[in-house]
Chains A and B, each alone.
Chain A
Amino acid sequence: MTDPQLKDKVEELIREHKVLLFMKGTPEQPRCGFSMRTVGVLDQMGVDYAALDVLPALQPLREVTAEISDWQTFPQLYVNGELVGGCDIVEEMAASGELAELLGVEQPAEVAAPPQPQPADPQQSPPIQIDS
């Protein structure tokens, strides 16, 4: 029962953006602890990334990502068109240096941010809106 237009749009976003985060809320106002922590990691990595708030279409987006990536929980980080994982995996890879390598950046000196609000990153793209 996946919405084919939504699926096309999601696939397009994954292709278009080198680093893409599906999250609950926005980087400035995350609406879940896991999303907030994932944003924190990306901000520490210092990369540009695009963020999509899944809350306006949560169940339809779960169905779409289940089909595309066999994964239904959020946040989801995609890099170079592939699902990297959710918060747990992103944090583990950040600590091990694998995420910096994947993103093509220097490993930051201080990784594994404690769960607390991060200031907005002026470099990132504005939140994506899906018109359905």
Chain B
Amino acid sequence: MAISLDEVRLLIEAALPGAEVEVVDETGTQDHLRATVKAPQFEGLSRIDQHRLVKKAVQARFDDGSIHALSVKTEPR
């Protein structure tokens, strides 16, 4: 079951209000995604903690197999 890029973007935006989120499909099969996220909530957080926030937003979709792989790039906004 693939997932729409919009859905991933919305999940991240919902978890991180005020974030600028871009989600692209790396392989054309909609299960290897790349999310670039700039969020105010990242200020002062280590990279790993920034990534944890993004991963948590989409965890259910990892668990049900909709997302096979997600590359994440974060920076504070």
Residues of A within 8 A of B (CB): 32, 34, 70-73, 83-89, 92-93
Contacts and interface: CB of A to CB of B under 8 A. Distances in A.
Interface of B: 47-48, 51-52, 55, 59, 62, 69-73
A88 B52 contact: no
A73 B47 contact: no
Contacts of A84: 48
Contacts, number: 31
B72 A88 contact: yes
Nearest to B27: A33
Contact of A88 (B59, B62, B71): B71
A88 B48 contact: no
Q: Determine chain B's interface SS by DSSP, over half rule.
A: helix
A128 B59 CA distance: 29
A14 B59 CA distance: 25
A89 B47 contact: yes
A71 B46 CA distance: 14
12 contacts: A71-B48, A72-B59, A73-B55, A83-B48, A85-B51, A86-B51, A87-B71, A88-B71, A88-B73, A89-B47, A89-B48, A89-B51
Contacts of B70: 73
Contacts of A71: 48, 52, 55
Given A73-B62, A88-B71, A88-B72, A93 B47 contact: yes
A87 B71 CA distance: 8
A59 to B, nearest CB: 11
Given A34-B69, A72-B62, A73-B62, A85 B55 contact: no
